Structure 1
Amino acid sequence: MALPVIGLTTYREHAAWGVWRQHADVLPAQYATAVEETGGVPLLLPPVAQVAAAVAVVDRLDALVVSGGADVDPTRYGAEPHPRTAGWREDRDAWEVALLDAAEAVGLPVLGICRGMQLMAVHAGGSLHQHTPDLVDHDEHSPGGDRYGAIDVSTVPGSRVATLVGERLSVSCHHHQSVQDHPGYVAAAHAADGTVEAIELDGDRFCLAVQWHPETAADVGLLAGLVRAAADRAAGR
């Protein structure tokens, strides 16, 4: 049986490697490694200007990961930018929204990670808390720089997320924004301070998202679950 192909959305940033310093499509290798280690084949999906191409791309995928990255453009949920909201990428927002539209149309398995969860909530008509420390009075979700925060998360009993990762777990996170409203999704996990840390769709389709970074952990239950769903879909084609 062919290995399932998992699309991974990427950053577009100014990067440096060897003698080169130029714009590049990049993604931390942990994402692709985690997909490989759980039985999938990673396929990088950089922002594409012709967003209508998302339909053709999704037709060739067995699952989609909407990766972490910059803030979502607040105009997408009708808000003015908070002073700490910065660096949004209109091209990436448009491309990933088009991918989510195409994925929804065909029931493709989807996993959102960090920014991916926020974009999925906005795509569904929801909104974001633009600077979570304003609400919780601490910086544990994103301690700054290139460091991950370590927080404890409790999953909702009976949720798909709970079946994949258990009742409680300590996670690596790096987000200063969080989900406020998530129409159509149900909350599947929370931090001790009440922050929504996971959302998912009811029903049979694998469509969920988390604020933390499962690709950084030894336990890749979420990615393993996505790859299994992708393999089932591929086998049923």
Structure 2
Amino acid sequence: MEAPLIAVTGRRRAAAGLHSGPPALDALEIDAYFTGYGANVVAAGGLPLHVPGDVDPAAVVERTDALVLTGGNDVDPARYGAVPDARTSSLEPGRDAFEIALLAAARERGRPVLAICRGIQLVNVAWGGTLHLHLEEHAHTRRHEVTLTPGSVLAALHGPSATVNSLHHQGVDRVADGLTVTARAPDGLVEGLEADGLVCVQWHPEQLEDVPQPEFRWLVDAARAG
């Protein structure tokens, strides 16, 4: 059986400081994502496809078998009726719009989706939920426990609890209709959301030691089954 083709979103950055070529390249931009995403897809039996933000989302979903929404900067607070404050990190409204369109196309075509960190926040906002603008106690806490909901995909992958990493300063506040909370931190913060064919986690499985992480195995298996 051929390896499922997994679309992986990334981020666009100024090239300055990210290359070893002549200074003239500083004015260019680079599309990138952290290597752990692709490495986990490959180790789980999939074939990762980096998706730049200026392609047709429907065409991407048509030709791929699953989608990974990766981490990154804050979702634009205007999308959920809030106002940025001094702690809001660089916004990417174009990326927001592109990934929301990718998500909608994937859901319409029944493609499985794994949403990570910014991804869980984007999904919740896209479906009508809101976010906490800043969570000082969660910002960059390297390890903590989450409790997983019995009967959920995450519980099937990990058991009743898991030790995860935390690299975020925002999080899910009001959960959107149609999404089920399937993981919580000890203070009650939502760390996992699910719907049919959709798994969202607030942590970064692509940065944990074991490769592939169970979430990526789930995604590739679901892509094969679809």
Instruction: Give distance in 1, aligned partners of 2:192 and 2:217.
Output: 17
Structure 1: which 5+ residue stretches go unaligned?
none
Instruction: Give distance in 2, aligned partners of 1:166 and 1:36.
Output: 24
Which amino acid is the alignment partner of residue 149 of structure 2?
A: V
For 1:25, the equivalent position in structure 2 comes to 31
Instruction: Give distance in 2, aligned partners of 1:58 and 1:187.
Output: 26
Instruction: Give distance in 2, aligned partners of 1:174 and 1:200.
Output: 20
Counterpart of 2:225 in 1: which secondary structure?
A: helix
Q: Is the 1:3–1:40 Cα contact (8 Å) retained in structure 2? A: yes
For 1:185, the equivalent position in structure 2 comes to 179
Counterpart of 1:3 in 2: which secondary structure?
A: coil
Structure 2: which 5+ residue stretches go unaligned?
none
For 2:146, the equivalent position in structure 1 comes to 153
Which amino acid is the alignment partner of residue 79 of structure 2?
A: R
For 1:40, the equivalent position in structure 2 comes to 46
For 1:225, the equivalent position in structure 2 comes to 218
For 1:119, the equivalent position in structure 2 comes to 122
How many residues matched?
217
For 2:6, the equivalent position in structure 1 comes to 6
Q: Write 1 or 2 for the structure with the bigger share of strand.
A: 1
Q: How does 1:1-237 map to 2 (within 5 A)?
A: 1-15=1-15, 16-19=18-21, 20-21=25-26, 22-48=28-54, 53-133=56-136, 138=137, 141-143=138-140, 149-183=142-176, 184-201=178-195, 205-217=196-208, 218=210, 220-233=213-226
Question: How far off is 1:82 after superposition?
Answer: 2.6
Deviation per CA, 1:27-64: give whole Å up to 9, x if none: 0111100100010000001211x6xx111110111000
Counterpart of 2:206 in 1: which secondary structure?
A: helix
Instruction: Give distance in 2, aligned partners of 1:173 and 1:86.
Output: 16
Instruction: Give distance in 2, aligned partners of 1:46 and 1:126.
Output: 26
Runs of 4 or more, structure 1, over 4 Å off, are: none
Q: Is the 1:152–1:168 Cα contact (8 Å) retained in structure 2? A: yes
Instruction: Give distance in 2, aligned partners of 1:7 and 1:114.
Output: 17
Deviation per CA, 1:49-92: give whole Å up to 9, x if none: x6xx1111101110000000000000011111132112010110
Counterpart of 1:173 in 2: which secondary structure?
A: coil
Instruction: Give distance in 2, aligned partners of 1:124 and 1:164.
Output: 25
TM-score normalised by the chain length of structure 1:
0.88
Q: Is the 1:14–1:24 Cα contact (8 Å) retained in structure 2? A: yes
Question: How far off is 1:182 after superposition?
Answer: 2.3
Instruction: Give distance in 2, aligned partners of 1:30 and 1:3.
Output: 18
Counterpart of 1:7 in 2: which secondary structure?
A: strand
Percent of pairs identical after alignment? Answer: 42
Q: Is the 1:165–1:222 Cα contact (8 Å) retained in structure 2? A: no
TM-score normalised by the chain length of structure 2:
0.92
Counterpart of 1:170 in 2: which secondary structure?
A: strand
Instruction: Give distance in 2, aligned partners of 1:225 and 1:86.
Output: 31
Quote the RMSD (CA, aligned, Å). Answer: 1.3
Instruction: Give distance in 1, aligned partners of 2:34 and 2:11.
Output: 9
